[in-house]
A and B are shown apart, each in its own frame.
Chain A
Amino acid sequence: MLAYVIQRVFQSLLVMVVVAFAAFIVFNFVGDPVDNMLGQETSAEEREELRKDLGLDDPFIVQFGRFVTNAVHGEFGISYRLQRPVADLIAERMPATLELVALSAVLALVFGVPLGVFTGINRSSWISQLILIVSLVGVSLPTFVIGILLIYIFAVNMGVLPSFGRGGVVEIGWWSTSFLTVAGWQAIILPAVTLSLFQMTLILRLVRSEMLEVMRTDYIKFARARGLTDRAVNFGHALRNTLVPVITIVGLNIGSLVAFSIITETVFQWPGMGFLFIQAVGFADVPVMAAYLVMIAFVFVMINLIVDLLYFVVDPRLRADKAVAAGN
């Protein structure tokens, strides 16, 4: 067990070092940082001085070490575009993205699981067929098209919901939340629905196929033979056994929600990290890009590590296999 955990943690660290190295290379060799920070009229001496101050004349490995140390402390330098520390920018934008991702995950679960159970139990009813066809169309609709469609319907035509920004936010310490004002809720609905639709169809299809499989097993037949109610069979026995893969997928997909929030945030001008990143790409604002790259890699590595370790806790067979493989 311990050896497995250590191995996984070590692998995660290795991935992070590789990503940090990539970010460092980009940061240092894509354009000269000195050129990016100073104007045209600075003298050669001033340039040299700044170069020394920034430690750019140090050996490569020393510079990389410093980059990693700074990154661990959350420091990624100054944004070229906004002339402010990247760490501040990210701290400012993070609550917006995290709230959006959290609400989308909740929406995807709250609608995806019941619809999946319904289509799994009543597989031949026309409502199920309709839900499945709609979900296929949903998979083919790119996220940004869904966003535009929702804006057109609810913001332009009906004029009931705002199409950009966060509406009203309340500051709780450094965290700004949209969940405490009506305007904030109105503003977050459309982006959250846009972001959750794809995950919703994914969960729906997964729960459906798992339900179809579980419904064929002997213990479900036995439960029916015992005269249990449909409700007890469907939810108490069948659904519970489908939840392990669903939880895994949902856990792993939190990462893709963060990734796809880039698109949603751009469509809705949502002031989160994804929108910040896209603007950074447009302006070749390398410090912001490097910081985002390292952060998103960290999120993905952590999620994968946690899911792997959870597997180990949840599924006893895995432990047994490992023990056999290790020769114990």
Chain B
Amino acid sequence: MVSITQSKDHPVNGAPRSRMARILDSDLFYSFRRSPVAVVSAVITLAYFLTAGLAPWLAPYDPFNAASLDLMDAFTAPAWTAEGDSRFLLGTDDQGRDILSTLIYGGRISLIVGFAAVAFSIILGVGVGILAGYVSGWVETVIMRIADVQLTIPAILIALMVDGVARSALPLEMREDMAIYVLIFSIGISDWPRYARVTRGATLVERNKEYIQAARIIGIHPVTIMLRHVLPNVMGPVLVLGTIGLALAVITEATLSFLGVGVPPTTPSLGTLIRIGNNFLFSGEWWITLFPAVALVVLVLAVNLLGDWLRDALNPKLR
């Protein structure tokens, strides 16, 4: 089948197909179209990203602009209830902030932190993983022992510890401003061993293939071999891990923020919003905590399902 489509797209003169056409014709896209769960979760994930990117234009209010807040609007119920106000679709919180707007901005911060943390994990984990697999010897032993030890401890605990230590290391007046970077660092550092393990395994396989030996023989620098030749060939499994890792990172961020050691309340993420809303659960203002919680769970579920599908789709044994 492949040969037929290729002969159609590659006429006699052999003109390359456009990149888009190649993507649309790939096995991966075929499997994607065939899986309704994957399509739905991809659409939801994409919607989250678009909303996050277009937050200033989509949000009805700017929740961080103190001038636009009116305490008289505080604790307004969602618009469809009896005490609702049509100006605030999902109601308002204790400071009179529009819940829908804080959700849009909060989701943006959750995604930014999650994404940055995963990127940090991948760079660190894939870097030392390739190094361990390619160089071997004592370097490999040391790196993989550290990874093994860290893997026995739950990631959330590592993130909490690193976060706690880093916060107490910072001077008091910098803690608020640096909180988001500390958070990215601690979540990122908590998850690198998974990437290191997978990358090392894949590198060990690639290292003995002929193209690597050929590259070595013609005298290419080892660093160049690792970056230009090994790296592209180990990225498949790393992408799968990274997708599921994004869901994990978003959960970890929300958890730390909920525990009050994440992003500061001035720039709330979904976790911070749930924490704030939790204080008003008993007085009956359920909407302040319910909507951020739903937003968080839907995002995590969609990304998880997408990761599950990607893992199966890229697994040659299941084809």
B-facing mask of A280-314, CB < 8 A → 1, else 0? Answer: 11101010010001001100100010000000000
Q: Does A31 lie at the interface of the complex (its beta carbon under 8 Å from any beta carbon of B)? A: yes
Q: Does A320 lie at the interface of the complex (its beta carbon under 8 Å from any beta carbon of B)? A: no
A144 closest partner in B (C-beta): B258
| A259 in complex: contacting residue of B149, B157, B281, CB < 8 Å | B157
- Chain A residue numbers with a CB within 8 Å of B168 are 26, 30-31, 281, 284, 286, 289
A289 to B293 Cα, complex, angstroms: 29
Q: Are A142 and B300 in contact (CB under 8 A)?
A: yes
A141 to B274 Cα, complex, angstroms: 13
A153 to B293 Cα, complex, angstroms: 15
| B260 in complex: contacting residue of A141, A145, A278, CB < 8 Å | A278
Q: Does A151 lie at the interface of the complex (its beta carbon under 8 Å from any beta carbon of B)? A: yes
Q: Are A266 and B152 in contact (CB under 8 A)?
A: no
- Chain B residue numbers with a CB within 8 Å of A151 are 281
| B153 in complex: contacting residue of A255, A263, A282, CB < 8 Å | A255
A-facing mask of B94-133, CB < 8 A → 1, else 0? Answer: 0000000000000000000000000000000000000000
Stretch of B1-9, B158-166, B209-217 on the interface side: B158-166
Q: Does A143 lie at the interface of the complex (its beta carbon under 8 Å from any beta carbon of B)? A: yes
Q: Does A40 lie at the interface of the complex (its beta carbon under 8 Å from any beta carbon of B)? A: no
Q: Are A137 and B160 in contact (CB under 8 A)?
A: no
| B281 in complex: contacting residue of A152, A262, A282, A286, CB < 8 Å | A152
Q: Are B281 and A260 in contact (CB under 8 A)?
A: no
A289 to B168 Cα, complex, angstroms: 10
Q: Does B203 lie at the interface of the complex (its beta carbon under 8 Å from any beta carbon of A)? A: no
Separation in Å of the B36 CB from the closest CB of chain A? 15
| A262 in complex: contacting residue of B149, B160, B289, B296, CB < 8 Å | B160
Q: A152-B281, A278-B260, A278-B261 are in contact. Are A145 and B296 (CB under 8 A)?
A: yes
Residue picked from B157, B247, B260, B274, most chain A C-beta under 10 Å: B157
B-facing mask of A60-93, CB < 8 A → 1, else 0? Answer: 0000000000000000000000000000000000
Q: Does B154 lie at the interface of the complex (its beta carbon under 8 Å from any beta carbon of A)? A: yes
Q: Are A278 and B296 in contact (CB under 8 A)?
A: no
- Chain A residue numbers with a CB within 8 Å of B254 are 142, 144
Q: Which of A211-238 contact B (CB under 8 A)?
A: none
- Chain B residue numbers with a CB within 8 Å of A286 are 168
Q: Are A141 and B304 in contact (CB under 8 A)?
A: no
Q: Are A142 and B165 in contact (CB under 8 A)?
A: no
- Chain A residue numbers with a CB within 8 Å of B160 are 262, 277, 281
- Chain B residue numbers with a CB within 8 Å of A137 are 301
- Chain A residue numbers with a CB within 8 Å of B286 are 152
Separation in Å of the B150 CB from the closest CB of chain A? 10
Q: Are B261 and A156 in contact (CB under 8 A)?
A: no
Q: Does B251 lie at the interface of the complex (its beta carbon under 8 Å from any beta carbon of A)? A: yes
Separation in Å of the A287 CB from the closest CB of chain B? 11
| B255 in complex: contacting residue of A26, A144, A148, A280, CB < 8 Å | A144
Q: Does A139 lie at the interface of the complex (its beta carbon under 8 Å from any beta carbon of B)? A: yes
Q: Does A15 lie at the interface of the complex (its beta carbon under 8 Å from any beta carbon of B)? A: yes
Q: Are A260 and B169 in contact (CB under 8 A)?
A: no
Q: Which of A133-180 contact B (CB under 8 A)?
A: 137, 139-145, 148-149, 151-152, 155-156, 163
The main secondary structure of chain A at its interface with chain B is helix
B-facing mask of A75-113, CB < 8 A → 1, else 0? Answer: 000000000000000000000000000000000000000
Q: Are B154 and A260 in contact (CB under 8 A)?
A: yes
A139 closest partner in B (C-beta): B304
Q: Are B281 and A296 in contact (CB under 8 A)?
A: no
A232 to B293 Cα, complex, angstroms: 45
Separation in Å of the B319 CB from the closest CB of chain A? 21
A298 to B289 Cα, complex, angstroms: 37
A304 to B259 Cα, complex, angstroms: 28
- Chain A residue numbers with a CB within 8 Å of B284 are 156
Q: Are B167 and A293 in contact (CB under 8 A)?
A: no
Q: Which of B274-303 contact A (CB under 8 A)?
A: 274, 278, 281-282, 284, 286, 289, 293, 296-297, 300-301
Separation in Å of the B108 CB from the closest CB of chain A? 19
Q: Does A256 lie at the interface of the complex (its beta carbon under 8 Å from any beta carbon of B)? A: yes
Q: Does B156 lie at the interface of the complex (its beta carbon under 8 Å from any beta carbon of A)? A: yes
| B154 in complex: contacting residue of A155, A255, A266, A297, CB < 8 Å | A255
A293 closest partner in B (C-beta): B161
A263 to B258 Cα, complex, angstroms: 9
B-facing mask of A26-50, CB < 8 A → 1, else 0? Answer: 1000110000000000000000000
B145 closest partner in A (C-beta): A11
- Chain B residue numbers with a CB within 8 Å of A141 are 297
- Chain A residue numbers with a CB within 8 Å of B156 are 259-260, 263
Q: Are B255 and A281 in contact (CB under 8 A)?
A: no
A275 to B248 Cα, complex, angstroms: 22
Separation in Å of the A251 CB from the closest CB of chain B? 12
Q: Which of B150-190 contact A (CB under 8 A)?
A: 152-154, 156-157, 160-161, 163-165, 167-169
Separation in Å of the A28 CB from the closest CB of chain B? 12
* A-B contacts, 16 listed (Cβ < 8 Å): A26-B165, A139-B304, A144-B274, A145-B293, A148-B293, A149-B293, A163-B282, A259-B153, A260-B156, A263-B156, A277-B160, A281-B160, A281-B261, A282-B261, A284-B168, A304-B152
Residues on A lying within 8 angstroms of B by beta carbon are: 15, 26, 30-31, 137, 139-145, 148-149, 151-152, 155-156, 163, 252, 255-256, 259-260, 262-263, 266-267, 277-278, 280-282, 284, 286, 289, 293, 296-297, 300, 304
Q: List 8 additional contacts besides A259-B154, A277-B164, A281-B261; criterion CB under 8 Å.
A: A30-B168, A31-B168, A140-B297, A144-B258, A145-B274, A259-B157, A281-B259, A286-B168
